[in-house]
Amino acid sequence: MPRTTKADLEAERLLWRAGFGPAPGEAKRLGRLGRRRAVEQLLAPKGRALGGRPARIDGGPLDPVNAYGHDVLWWLDRAARTRHPLAERMTLNWHDHFATSNEKVGDVKLMMRQYWLLRNYGLGSFRALTKRILRDGAMQMFLDLAGSEKGSPNENFARELFELFTLGVNNGYTERDIREAARALTGFTFDYDTKRFGFDPDRHDRGVKRVFGKRGRFTPEDIIDLAINHPKHAPYLCEKLWHYFTPLPVPPRTLKQMVSTYRRSGTEIRPVLRIILTHPSLYADLTSPHQVKPPVVYAAGMLRRTNTRIADESWIHLLDEMGQRPFHPPNVAGWDQDDAWLTPATISARFDAASMLVQKRVKDGSISASQSPQRAIAAARKATGDPQISKRTALAMQRYAVASVKGRTDDWEVKHYFPERQRVLRHVLLAGPDAQVC
Amino acid sequence: MTAPRRDGCNDWRMTRRRVASQAGRMMPIPADALDGLAEFERQGGLTRKNLLERGAGLVLMAGAASALGPRAILESAAAQQAASPNGAILVSLYLDGGNDFINTFIPITDPQYRQRRKRIAIPADQILPVSGSSEFGWHPSMSGIAGLYDQGKVAVLPAVDYAQPDQSHFNSQGYWQRGVVGPTLDRTGWLGRTLDLIGTRNNPLQGVSVSWGLDPTLIARKAPIGTVYEPSYFGLGIPEVWDGKGFTKLYREAARGSHSRARQAVSQAYNNAFRMVDMLKPLQGDPNKLPPTPVEYPDSYLGKGMRNAARILGAGLGTRVLSLSRGGFDTHDDQPDEHTELLKDVSDSVTAFQADIQARGLADRVVVMIWSEFGRRPDDNDGNGTDHGAGGGLMLVGNRVNGGIRSEFPGLTSLDSDDNLKVTTEFRTVYASLLESWMGVEASKILPKMDSRRLPLIR
């Protein structure tokens, strides 16, 4: 087995935190660049966005618009095949931040349009991104912007804009600010017959509003600017971004640095990510990881590690049961991260996911009784992308590799139990406790 | 231009299904593969101290409930304890989105009711009577719960909320779930903290979130909590692997030891999952066949959830707290039809559950608490719906519940500064009363800065 260096471990950590884990050989390649250049490559990806072959279900391509759950498979497939890991991961992060659920929107096309918005603009200016989100059909449906009109403004979007998208709960605004902002956010329309979103000046409240102590005939875009120019915005957003990459607290000096970089750049996201991804915190405790892999990262990661393309609809239900179904966040606050991912039920779904990648891979009768425990372990590691494991897992695997075939000497036993050993060893490498964290 | 149809800004909770076909590939794990379980079973998942505490609590409750002499009280308490060693059970049922309590338990004699609700007032001839009250009536969908009310098994608490109510789903929901009003860094839920106090570290089914994701109300500091919507299919198996004992041992060994906090959380989840598989083994099999329920449950996410809750309770696994939720109550528009459907689902599910646990001999041990993060505005809106309001309402259902109207309704004439119902009772007072008179724990240990006000909610 090739020796694992610190650079490999760092690259592996980076690919998990800022992407969906390494494909075989990817960590080694990235590790050779060194931390800084590796991060630059992620920040400015070049070439084709996707590698490998696209998912196929029942011999046909995915049909995200019409087939139940294929929207989820479509997202997972892109994550599993991405060659632009950070851009793809940030799309998932923004989907959590600007959480919009098709449970309410009820239109996959609108949801996919929002996906492309987040994917195409997710590394640029946050101000521009938020202004696009304001005009995004799925969001307008989800938070009742479309149809909100002068005289009876709907407060939903205004509230979440402050509470979740730009400032944080109870962080520098009042109920009155929400009500006034909601007035400024009136005028958006949706025509059910033509399926068109629009803006009707006659339905927009052109009166003077008072938001954050400022008075004016604010337009919807003005409200976004007011929120983003609010002194509490930059620290809130920078800290939130930080926590997408590490559960460790952000050092006050780093936060200050991020905030001033963010402001100086005119709300650019890339420079903030650069600070986070090159920060020593991200590479702390390389052999004792802090982050629980979010389900989409975990699932895409196991597909990448095993070079597998999606060919089974079970992934829809598995992701659902793991607690993260793209296009269906649990609420407008997105998904609870870290150990909130883990319950006996979600861990059993994570366990089942590995079964998908183990079954029908090793046929009975395909391994002879001469295979040593060491060879069995080496083969399992190779088949699963040679993941990092703890000493305890390594020891438990060695014991299992010996005990599982002990006394299995009859022909039928050899035929079944040597392959069974291989299935179980792969399974624990894919879903064991070590595989859940990064 | 038509206004977009709003299913409600909180109608995001999805119905998750485990594909039935997956059940086939689960292999049972031999009980002896689970080290430490035999000892756990001997303890019945409960400590000696808790048993003693519960025993005392039951004597007091029996005393309060009946006119029996002290000797009979002691005997009945002992019998109850022998039959059911695990004590009182609380079921939390959350109506997600803000239930319109004004149209649930309707102030029929309030002249403002029809004034303020020109579009969505329930026609008088459809409203169901509330026995013993001329002031209120039930929504027509609530016949099941109305019937239980007539039997004295339902306490209704209108205008329950908290002072200066916040109309954000996110905030209000969090306050109710945590039992703390205002921002806090503590993520734990009030029922999770209750289990920290009365539960054990090794029974993952002492608190069960009957859902696909853990209900935040049940987040505990140290007590393991089970999340299981469908116990029939709860299992851990690997296809084409026959030696369950072997891989279980491998997994359990790999899950041992102390690492980072994240890694510890993973290990804990795995260990409890393996333990749960074994505990739920008696419930494995086709849920439509086993076990028969005495009544028909609605064929809905909630109906099945309530049925599964009854099955879990029936298996005697030491469960003390269960939680369920029903989404869709954020009825900003087109309320009448939607609300009718929602309340019917809730009423029918709870009524079926009540009959089911009665048949299982558990009904004296269970109280169901039905709550929502807020009520809705007394004035309806021009979308035939209602916006976020305050002073929602709570209902308690159970044999031991002190039936009747148990909080003050402030009327629809004098409203608060946001044109919402005035709050007469803080929800934490209800929690505290239940904790003390039902769960037998001191409320101040669970609810920070709790005053001494209590309500007579349990007989």
User: Which residue is closest to A338 within chain B, CA to CA?
Assistant: B262
φ/ψ (deg, to 5) at A324: -145, 100
Which residues in chain A have their CB less than 8 angstroms from residue B170's CB? 163-164, 169, 331-333
By Cβ distance, the residue of A156, A289, A330 closest to B213 is A330
Q: Which amino acid is at B164?
A: Q
Give the whole-angstrom CA distance, residue B327 versus residue B13.
6
**Residue B23: pLDDT band by 50, 70, 90 thresholds?**
very low
By Cβ distance, the residue of A288, A332, A355 closest to B263 is A288
Q: What is the 3-state secondary structure (H, E, C) of B125-183?
A: HHCEEECCEEEEEECHHHHHHHHHHHCCCEEEEEEEECCCCCCCHHHHHHHHHHCCCCC
For the question of an ipTM over 0.85, the answer is yes
Token pair belonging to B202: 């090794």
Residues B251, A146: C-beta atoms closer than 8 Å: no
Chain-centroid distance of CA A168 in Å reads: 21
Give the whole-angstrom CA distance, residue A134 versus residue A102.
17
Residues B267, A420: C-beta atoms closer than 8 Å: no
Antiparallel, parallel or unpaired: β B154-161 and B425-426: parallel
Query: Residue B133 class from Cβ within 10 Å (0-12 exposed, 13-18 middle, 19+ buried)?
Result: middle
Secondary structure (3-state) at B396: strand
Asked whether the predicted pLDDT for residue B104 surpasses 50, the reply is: yes
Which residues in chain B have their CB less than 8 angstroms from residue A339's CB? 261-262, 265
Range of the domain at A416: 373-436
Q: Of A300, A231, A228, which is closest to residue A269 (Cα–Cα)?
A: A228
pLDDT at res. B29: 28
C-alpha distances (whole Å) from A336 to each of A117, B214, B268 are 23, 11, 18
The overall average pLDDT reported for chain B is 81
Q: Is A30 contained in some domain?
A: no
Give the whole-angstrom CA distance, residue A150 versus residue B407.
38
- The C-alpha of A424 sits at a distance from chain B's nearest C-alpha, in angstroms, of 7
What torsion do the CA atoms of A223, A228, A233, A234 make, to the nearest 10 degrees? 180
pLDDT at res. B182: 82
Contact A270, A43 (CB under 8 A): yes
Q: What is the DSSP letter of A291?
A: P
B202 touching chain A per CB within 8 A: no
B185 touching chain A per CB within 8 A: no
Query: Residue B383 class from Cβ within 10 Å (0-12 exposed, 13-18 middle, 19+ buried)?
Result: buried
Contact B394, B405 (CB under 8 A): no
Omega cis (within 30) before B291: yes
B14 touching chain A per CB within 8 A: yes
Asked whether the predicted pLDDT for residue B31 surpasses 90, the reply is: no
By Cβ distance, the residue of B9, B241, B270 closest to A420 is B241
Which residue is listed with tokens 């090739």? A2
By Cβ distance, the residue of B25, B246, B272 closest to A424 is B246
Interface of B with A in 207-266 (CB under 8 A): 209, 212-214, 224-229, 234-243, 246-247, 249-251, 253-257, 259-263, 265-266
DSSP A102-148: HHHH--HHHHHHHHHHHHHHTTSBHHHHHHHHHT-HHHHHHTT-TT-
Residue of A96, A281, A342 best to disrupt the B interface, most CBs of B under 10 A:
A342
Specify the fold of B22-46+86-445: Alkaline Phosphatase, subunit A (3.40.720)
- Pick B166 or A365 by higher pLDDT: A365
Give the whole-angstrom CA distance, residue A144 versus residue B351.
35
Give the whole-angstrom CA distance, residue A117 versus residue A109.
12
What pTM was estimated for this model as a whole? Answer: 0.75
Residues A348, B236: C-beta atoms closer than 8 Å: yes
Q: Is A129 contained in some domain?
A: no
Give the whole-angstrom CA distance, residue A418 versus residue A408.
9
pLDDT at res. B268: 86
Token pair belonging to B104: 């649930």
Average pLDDT over residues B323-329: 96
Contact B4, A144 (CB under 8 A): yes
pLDDT at res. B294: 67
By Cβ distance, the residue of A392, A420, A437 closest to B242 is A420
Q: Is A334 contained in some domain?
A: no
**Residue B278: pLDDT band by 50, 70, 90 thresholds?**
confident
Token pair belonging to A23: 């494909």
Q: What is the DSSP letter of A84?
A: -
Contact B226, B272 (CB under 8 A): yes
Which residues in chain B have their CB less than 8 angstroms from residue A436's CB? 262-263, 266
pLDDT at res. B291: 61
Q: Is A416 contained in some domain?
A: yes
Q: What is the pLDDT of residues B176-225, one digit of tens each?
A: 999 999 867 677 899 999 999 999 877 899 999 999 778 989 988 888 88
What is the domain count for chain A?
A: 1
B10 touching chain A per CB within 8 A: yes
Give the whole-angstrom CA distance, residue B18 versus residue B310.
20
Question: Which residues are within 8 A (CB) of A40 and not within 5 positions of it... i.e. 6 or more apart?
Answer: A274
Which residues in chain A have their CB less than 8 angstroms from residue B22's CB? 314, 317, 352
Residues B22, A146: C-beta atoms closer than 8 Å: no
Token pair belonging to B155: 């306490």
**Residue B85: pLDDT band by 50, 70, 90 thresholds?**
low
Residues B247, A358: C-beta atoms closer than 8 Å: no
Q: Is A187 contained in some domain?
A: no
Residues A320, B170: C-beta atoms closer than 8 Å: no
Which residues in chain B have their CB less than 8 angstroms from residue A159's CB? 168
Question: Which residues are within 8 A (CB) of A282 and not within 5 positions of it... i.e. 6 or more apart?
Answer: A13, A14, A17, A245, A246, A276
Q: Is A8 contained in some domain?
A: no
Secondary structure (3-state) at B92: strand
Contact B154, B148 (CB under 8 A): yes
Which residues in chain A have their CB less than 8 angstroms from residue B18's CB? 317, 321
pLDDT by residue, tens only, chain A of 438 residues: 456 789 999 999 999 999 999 999 899 999 999 999 999 999 999 999 999 999 999 999 999 999 999 999 999 999 999 999 999 999 999 999 999 999 889 999 999 999 999 999 999 999 999 999 999 999 999 998 999 999 999 988 999 999 999 999 999 999 999 999 999 999 999 998 998 999 999 999 999 999 999 999 999 999 999 999 999 999 999 999 999 999 999 999 999 999 999 999 999 999 999 999 999 999 999 989 999 999 999 999 999 999 999 999 999 999 988 989 999 987 788 888 888 888 777 898 999 999 999 998 999 999 999 999 999 999 999 999 999 899 999 999 999 999 999 999 999 999 999 999 999 999 999 999 999 999
Contact A14, A245 (CB under 8 A): no
Which residues in chain A have their CB less than 8 angstroms from residue B212's CB? 320-321, 323, 345
Average pLDDT over residues B349-360: 95
- How many inter-chain contacts (A to B, CB under 8 Å) are there? 229
Residues A433, B240: C-beta atoms closer than 8 Å: no
Please state, as a whole number, how many other Cβ atoms lie within 10 Å of the Cβ of residue B361: 11
Residues A392, B257: C-beta atoms closer than 8 Å: yes
The lowest-confidence range among A224-228, B53-57, B284-288 is B53-57
Contact A58, A67 (CB under 8 A): no
pLDDT at res. A354: 97
- The C-alpha of B431 sits at a distance from chain A's nearest C-alpha, in angstroms, of 25
Residues B243, A420: C-beta atoms closer than 8 Å: yes
Q: What is the DSSP letter of A53?
A: P
Which residues in chain A have their CB less than 8 angstroms from residue B226's CB? 343-345
**Helix ranges restricted to H, B325-434:** 335-359, 427-434
Residues B7, A325: C-beta atoms closer than 8 Å: no
User: Which residue is closest to B1 within chain A, CA to CA?
Assistant: A191
Residues B12, A330: C-beta atoms closer than 8 Å: yes
Contact B393, B160 (CB under 8 A): yes
Q: Of B109, B230, B99, which is closest to residue B161 (Cα–Cα)?
A: B99
Residue of A110, A316, A347 best to disrupt the B interface, most CBs of B under 10 A:
A347
Average pLDDT over residues B31-40: 28
Residues B170, A146: C-beta atoms closer than 8 Å: no
- Pick A17 or B284 by higher pLDDT: A17
Residues B14, A432: C-beta atoms closer than 8 Å: no
Q: Is A392 contained in some domain?
A: yes
pLDDT at res. B223: 85
Average pLDDT over residues B399-425: 96
pLDDT at res. B66: 30
Give the whole-angstrom CA distance, residue B319 versus residue A306.
41
DSSP strands (E only) in A152-207: 188-191, 196-199
Which residues in chain A have their CB less than 8 angstroms from residue B172's CB? none
Query: Residue A106 class from Cβ within 10 Å (0-12 exposed, 13-18 middle, 19+ buried)?
Result: middle
- The C-alpha of A436 sits at a distance from chain B's nearest C-alpha, in angstroms, of 7
pLDDT at res. A321: 86
Sign (positive or negative) of CA dihedral B198, B56, B323, B402? negative
By Cβ distance, the residue of B226, B257, B269 closest to A342 is B269
